[in-house]
Each structure stands twice: as C-alpha cells, then as structure tokens.
Amino acid sequence: MEQVRFKSGMEIEKWKYNCINRAVCKIFGVSTAECVNDIRHFVTLPDIAILVEKRYSKFMDKLIDSGDFADLFLANGGQ
C-alpha cells in the first residue's frame, strides 16, 4: 500500500489521507480501504470530488438562471 509522508515524519496509508475516509474509520471502527469503501457506498457518501462538482454545477446553474451573472459581468466592465 502506498504511503504519504508528512514533514513531521509521520506516515499513513494513502487511502486514509482523505479526511472523510479517516472520519469513517474512526466512526465505524474499521481499518481497511475495502471496509471504508463499502461503508461509504452503503451510506451514500460519494467521493469529495463528486460532491464538489455537483455543488459547483448547482451554484453555476442558479447563478445563470437568476440573471445576477450578467450584472456581475457588467459591473466588472465585461472583463
């Protein structure tokens, strides 16, 4: 398993580097990547990148639909 080394010298397995994965480990008392992935699947907790992408898309859709985007663009001189 690939390791991540911090400046302090501490090493952890790369799959635990994600704060969500570490929280799942602590909450459910598991210590393997397979268990963490299973739990995340069962509780519908997708990857952080997917969550961020969904929220960004939702934000942009609302911004464009509201018309505030045009005001923001014009307020900045269209640059």
Radius of gyration of the chain (CA): 20
Look at residue 27 in the predicted model and tell me its pLDDT. 94
Look at residue 19 in the predicted model and tell me its pLDDT. 83
Look at residue 14 in the predicted model and tell me its pLDDT. 65
For helices 68-75 and 48-66, the axis angle rounded to 10 degrees is: 80
Please state the pTM of the whole predicted model: 0.54
List pLDDT tens digits, range 1-60.
Answer: 576 666 666 666 666 667 888 899 899 998 888 888 899 899 998 887 788 889 999 988
